[in-house]
Every structure is written in C-alpha cells, then in structure tokens.
Amino acid sequence: MIKHIVLWKLKEHAEGADRASNAAKMKTMLDACADLVPGILKLEAVVAQPGLEATYDVVLYSEFADKAALDAYQNHPSHLALKPFFGAVREARQCMDYEI
C-alpha cells in the first residue's frame, strides 16, 4: 500500500477569492477525485479548522493499493485538471509518498 499525503498553504487572495473560499473549493475538487481509478483505498481532503493548530490550509490524505494505482490517479485527466487552479492559489506545497 502507498500513502500519499499533500499539504497546501494558500495565498491570502487568489483567483478572485479569499483563502477560506479557495480552501473550500479545493476540498470540493479533491473530494470529487475519490473514485477516479481502481485502487484508491481512501481519499480524505481536510481544511484547517479554527481553534486547532495548523500550519497549512488544506491537507489530502490518501491510500492506494500500489504504485500503479497512485500513478493512474496522478495521470488521470480529472486529477490533472485540478493543477492550474491549485497552482494559482497556493503559496506552498508539501508532499510525501511512502509504502507500507
């Protein structure tokens, strides 16, 4: 199994919206990817919650059956379609994949 974790810190304003609106839009877009390809075992997108410590604004936690499933997800047209918006609203991005 491969775990794929991505964190985004967002710009205060981008694409005509504030940070909170863009974070909510990112979550909706990520949630729509939950069943894109066979082998996605779990896909959870979360927006930082007020009152709880967070250094990033949006987190994606996902699990894939194997590297082939992760690769299929990464290269799926619906996933690739997210990248322009995510790139425009993000200030920073961190990612880690690991096998267990």
Domain boundaries defined on the chain: 2-99
Who's near 10: CB < 8 A, 6+ residues apart?
19, 22, 23, 26, 57, 58, 89, 90, 91
Rounded to an integer, the average pLDDT of 5-29 is: 98
In the numeric block, which tokens belong to residue 67? 């590297």
pLDDT at 83: 97
Please report which helix (H) or strand (E) contains residue 73, including its range: helix 67-75
Q: Domain 2-99: which CATH class?
A: alpha beta
Q: What percent of the chain has pLDDT over 90?
A: 99
Residues 20-65 pLDDT 10s: 999 999 999 999 999 999 999 999 999 999 999 999 999 999 999 9
